[in-house]
């Protein structure tokens, strides 16, 4: 960005799935919050609840309805007008193609109309950088556990834009396993938070499930077999309310233990003592507690974004976009999205 543009806020737009997020951030690298001025969010949970999952076409249409009002709301929160913007950042992928196109089209058109630069942001990089919005942010190098939607991956971060995937999802990611397991036990959509809440009422030791792929070397994840174990245990049980809570607790413990074991391995393999947790599953209280305990025991530090920034949001997109715009990166005027996008293919910022 030019010198005058650097002093102006970046508008961040997130529309990758079922949440419409908008934020304004004035790039301040050394300030807590990195200069975050405003953020607004609309969730489509009620819209998709009757279907038990996200309906892509409905998601796209709802982004069309909600995005411009949210942009106006964020500008009002910050006391700014569109002419005060110095750049626009939008999620370009990965995600639902129709939903991505809504944010990309609005972001690209707004940037063109204002004559300011625009940048398409990788959704997972946004999650990865979300802890940098906190008062005491981590500095690279660090290891990041990204557990968001269909993603469960461990990433070595040598610098912003220099990423090496250490372990990835082979089938069901942790978030998918939470949602699918909740559904098979009859819990309401969205299943993950409902299952985690129910697990707090479960009795320890009533059930025990395996910790997938922890009995062999490697950092990849696979939770489809765990989901099957839970299904069989549930079908053979009395399916009472206490049993439902007991199964939920055993399932959550299996997921959390697996994530903690893999994080410890990744830190040991890289020689890093900083661990970043990001994505929707990063809001899980049991995971946060167990990782904090592991950090105290092993001597590593864990960084979490605040709960508002674990799920999809515009603030993380504004931050990632501001960093890349400040480094001189630009998007051309073509509206392009990438439903599949390798995190390792990103250029350094």
Query: To 10 degrees, what angle do helices 224-236 and 174-184 make?
Result: 20
With CA atoms as reference, report the closest residue to 144 among 153, 134, 135: 153
Distances (CA, A) of 54 to 20, 83, 143: 14, 35, 30
Residue list for the binding site: 123, 127, 146-150, 179, 192, 284, 312
Residue list for the binding site for Fe cation: 123, 127, 312
Q: What angle do CA 322, 324, 325 make, to 5 degrees?
A: 65
What burial class does residue 206 get, using C-beta atoms within 10 Å of its C-beta: 0-12 exposed, 13-18 middle, 19+ buried? middle
Calculate the CA dihedral of residues 160, 162, 164, 170 and round it to 10 degrees. 60
Length of the chain as a residue count: 349
Residue list for the binding site for substrate: 146-150, 179, 192, 284
Query: To 10 degrees, what angle do helices 241-270 and 224-236 make?
Result: 160
Residues 238 and 252: their CA atoms lie apart, in Å, by 20
């Amino acid at each position: 960005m030019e010198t005058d543009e650097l002093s102006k806020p970046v508008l961040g737009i997130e529309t990758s799935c079922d949440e419409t997020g908008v934020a304004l951030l004035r790039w301040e690298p050394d300030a807590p919050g990195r200069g975050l001025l405003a953020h607004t969010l609309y969730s489509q949970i009620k819209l998709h609840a009757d279907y038990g999952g996200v309906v892509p076409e409905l998601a796209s249409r709802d982004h069309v309805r909600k995005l411009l009002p949210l942009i106006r709301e964020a500008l009002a929160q910050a006391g700014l007008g569109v002419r005060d913007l110095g750049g626009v950042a939008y999620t370009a992928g990965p995600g639902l193609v129709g939903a991505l196109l809504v944010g990309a089209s609005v972001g690209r058109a707004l940037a063109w109309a204002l004559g300011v630069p625009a940048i398409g942001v990788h959704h997972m990089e946004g999650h990865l950088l979300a802890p940098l919005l906190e008062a005491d942010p981590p500095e690279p190098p660090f290891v990041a556990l990204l557990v968001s939607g269909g993603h469960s991956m461990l990433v070595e971060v040598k610098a912003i834009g220099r990423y090496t995937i250490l372990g990835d999802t082979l089938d069901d990611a942790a978030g998918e396993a939470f949602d699918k397991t909740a559904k098979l036990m009859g819990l309401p959509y969205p299943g993950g938070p409902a299952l985690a809440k129910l697990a707090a009422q479960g009795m320890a030791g009533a059930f025990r499930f395996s910790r997938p792929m922890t009995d062999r070397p490697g950092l990849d994840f696979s939770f489809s077999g765990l989901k099957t174990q839970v299904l069989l245990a549930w079908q053979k049980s009395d399916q009472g309310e206490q049993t439902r809570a007991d199964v939920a607790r055993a399932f959550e413990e299996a997921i959390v233990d697996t994530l903690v074991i893999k994080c410890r391995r990744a830190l040991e393999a890289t020689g890093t003592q900083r661990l970043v947790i990001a994505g929707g599953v990063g809001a899980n209280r049991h995971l946060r507690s167990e990782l904090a305990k592991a950090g105290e025991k092993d001597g590593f530090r864990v960084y979490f974004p605040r709960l508002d920034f674990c799920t999809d949001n515009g603030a993380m997109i504004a931050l990632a976009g501001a960093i890349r715009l400040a480094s001189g990166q630009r998007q051309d005027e073509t509206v392009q999205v990438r439903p599949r996008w390798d995190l390792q293919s990103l250029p350094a910022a």
